[in-house]
A = this chain, B = another copy of it.
Amino acid sequence: MRILFLGDIVGHPGRMVVEERLPALLDQYRPDLVIANAENMANGRGLTPKLAETLFDANIDILTMGNHVWDHREIFGYIDNEKRIVRPANYPKGAPGFGYILVKVDTVKVAVVNLMGRVFMGDYDSPFAVINQILEEIQSETKHIFIDFHAEATSEKLALAHFVDGRVSAVVGTHTHVQTADEQILPGGTAYLTDVGMCGPIDSIIGMKKDQVLQRFLTQMPVRLEVEAGPAKLNAVVIDLLDNGLASSIQRIALK
């Protein structure tokens, strides 16, 4: 089984590059499942139901989220009934939506899990404790388990990946919007990449207008950040899974 995962789609330029380039990628790689991180879809912050539909229309099967998941209130009720969107599983119990979902790919069930880091991020439940619980819940259902670990610190990302190495198919990181070059199959058979990067404007600072971000750093005053309008790149990763759920290959994609 082959999974294609797209890094954080940032605003309109991110969506445009996905709509333009994804068809050729589907032709070339013929993935069985297409997943994308959509936490920055709505002008860089969060997701709306309408934009989610646009992404599904573009042949993305599943959307994952991150720290921006709640930026638009319309999403609250929507994701309670939309089993193609996964929000970080380590929010306290009672949060709207699903922390993992099971999706049928031909005859195989695949679990898609979204988790968030805590280091430099927020006071979420432990991603280590939560993934243990989830694996217990789903181990009788499937061995094909894909994790989008939305986190900042490389130490936490590597730690979680080694923690579940051999127990899941893949751990890919998101959130920094910069693709890392360390794709690998861990000793236990889990595919890993510290950060997939983003689908978003090239001449920007992690997707946002350079002058605005610079003003923030230079003045320490609040500056409204807008998504840069220029040409965008597409960052993604392709992972092949064996029948036992472990990974046989992982390949980075970076299109300009």
Residues of A at the B interface (CB closer than 8 Å) are 70-71, 91-92, 94-95, 118-120, 122-126, 128-129, 152-156, 158-160, 162-163, 176-182, 187, 194-195, 197, 203, 205-206, 210, 213-214, 217-222, 252, 254
Contacts and interface: CB of A to CB of B under 8 A. Distances in A.
A218 B163 CA distance: 10
Given A70-B222, A92-B126, A125-B126, 12 more contacts: A118-B123, A123-B123, A128-B218, A152-B153, A155-B205, A155-B213, A159-B210, A159-B217, A162-B214, A178-B194, A180-B181, A181-B197
Contacts of A210: 159, 162
A45 to B, nearest CB: 11
Contact of A181 (B122, B158, B252): B252
B162 A205 contact: yes
Contacts of A197: 181-182
A159 B214 contact: yes
Contacts of A126: 92, 123, 125
Contacts of A195: 180
Contacts of A95: 219-221
